[in-house]
Amino acid sequence: MRLIITGGAGFIGSNLILQLRAKYPDYQILNLDKLSYASDLKYLRHLEYDDGYTFKQFDLIDRGSVRQVIRDFKPDGIFHLAAESHVDNSIAGPEPFVMSNVVGTFNILEEFRQFWLDSGRPGDARFLHVSTDEVYGSLGAEGFFTEETCYAPNSPYSASKAGSDFLVRAYYHTYGLDVVTTNCSNNYGPNQHDEKLIPTVIQSALHHKSIPVYGKGDNVRDWLFVEDHCRALDLVFHKGKAGEAYNIGGHNEWKNIELVCEICNILNTIAKDGPDGDYKNLITFVRDRPGHDQRYAIDPTKIETKLGWRNTQNFKEDLKKTVHWYLGKYKQQ
Ligand code: NAD
């Protein structure tokens, strides 16, 4: 199999490439990434001499290059993860989100379709579009997002992801392209950029800076270990039904403030250097994010029953492993 992975130098993409290389040594993987501030090729450094892996620096906005790379590589499938991914940045400046997430997705989808039409084997190759639960908007205290939940995005990030999901859906219904979409909840684990919640908490604590928490900290997120997400992507790519979407989540809801306190408690037992003996003393409530969704929670019944996926995590253990990983990273800096 010849696979293109877009966004493979980011958080989830790098974890996915490492997992796929280990599981499918015969596959050829081409990682296309523009290397934004959120990327780090160091995460993939031990694939440097791996014959089954190639990296190409590449911006999906450049349509001509997208065409060329698809025609040169002749992929059997694409895992499309490349996106601008940070909600706060999308509020400060939405344009790159529309460009990468909507136009970039259109470019690769359309060039993939043209390539397969010209190859005389349309329908023979798969496009997996990796999206988010944020497209569904916000839940109240009860209920879960299912694949039937109406889209109601509230931030420029989620709106741009929703736009890309609709394009992907249209390419199945209009052209019969073999597409599958996944909508996943918040991920945690190694390789995430410092600006995201968990790395921010750890880095702030280590530097004895205030740990910012939006509003009252009562927004709820459903956290999934990145390796479980990657296993789900592998399953959906190989076994998912064309034209369908699969929600991925671990039934692991945490209020932001509870998660931050949990991380501080882990740090209290490892780093033991918090002010007055407790990193929680650094927590500072800051003005809420505009359009901040109150609660996300996924119902993963479809992927569990149709594809046999299970969330394998032991959240407290995996969170501890994650904290250790960032401690290692920040201590080297
Ligand atoms: P990330 O920001 O860590 O990585 C995204 C990567 O995409 C970066 O390496 C960046 O350079 C690349 N990229 C962005 N625009 C590009 C372009 N125009 N051309 C080429 N490369 C480009 O993000 P992530 O957290 O790894 O998320 C990956 C995907 O998973 C995204 O599509 C995101 O919407 C989705 N997702 C993320 C989460 C999460 O919790 N992180 C949850 C659900 C879904």
Tens-place pLDDT, residues 45-97 = 999 999 999 999 999 999 999 999 999 999 999 999 999 999 999 999 999 99
Which tokens is 170 given? Answer: 């249209």
Q: Give residues (CB < 6 A) around ligand 1.
A: 6-7, 9-13, 33-36, 38-39, 58-61, 81-85, 100, 104, 130, 132, 161, 184, 186-187, 193
Expressed in angstroms and rounded, the spacing between residue 194 Cα and the centre of ligand 1 is 14
| Cα distances (angstroms) measured from residue 192 to each of 13, 288, 333 | 10, 23, 16
List the structure tokens of 134: 């944020």
Q: Which of 134, 165, 228, 299 is catalytic?
A: 134
276 C-alpha vs ligand 1 centroid, how far in Å?
A: 38
Q: 281 alpha carbon to ligand 1 midpoint, in Å?
A: 33
Helices (H) and strands (E) in the chain, counts: 11, 13
Residues forming a β-bridge with 28: 2
Q: Which atom of ligand 1 is nearest to the CA of 59?
A: 19
Nearest one of 236, 229, 243, 221 to 289, comparing CA atoms: 221
- Pairing between β-strand 211-214 and β-strand 253-255 as defined by DSSP bridges: unpaired
Cα separation, 279 vs 209, in Å, equals: 10
Distance CA(35)–CA(56), nearest Å, equals 10
Largest CA distance in the chain: 69
Nearest one of 256, 136, 276 to 197, comparing CA atoms = 256
Contact criterion met (CB below 8 Å) for 39 and 6: no
Which CA distances in Å does 309 have to 24, 102, 170? 18, 29, 26
Q: What are the DSSP E strand ranges found in 126-281?
A: 126-132, 178-184, 187-188, 211-214, 220-222, 224-225, 245-248, 253-255
Tokens of 71: 């025609």
Per annotation, catalytic residue among 43, 53, 136, 157: 157
**Ligand 1 pocket: which of 5, 12, 43, 78 to mutate (most atoms <8 Å of CB)?**
12
**40 catalytically annotated:** no
Nearest CA to ligand 1 atom 41: 187
CA distance 215 to 235: 38
Distance CA 19, CA 39 (A): 18
Token readout for 74 is 């002749």
Active site residue 134: yes
Of 133, 165, 227, 234, catalytic = 133
Q: Which of 15, 18, 19, 36 to mutate to test the pocket of ligand 1 (most atoms within 8 A of CB)?
A: 36
Residue 278 falls in the annotated catalytic set: no
The residue among 75, 159, 58 whose CA lies nearest residue 111 is 75
Pocket test for ligand 1, best of 80, 85, 188, 254 (most atoms within 8 A of CB): 85
Ranges of the chain with pLDDT below 50: none
- The pLDDT value given to residue 121: 66
Enter the DSSP assignment of 136: G
CA-based angle 54:57:62, to the nearest 5?
A: 125
What pLDDT, on the 0 to 100 scale, is given for residue 122? 57
**Residue 295: what pLDDT?**
97
Task: Kindly give, in sequence order, each residue whose CB lies less than 8 Å from that of residue 90, ignoring residues fewer than 6 positions away.
Answer: 84, 97, 155, 156, 157, 160
Q: What pLDDT, on a 0 to 100 scale, did the predictor assign at position 332? A: 73
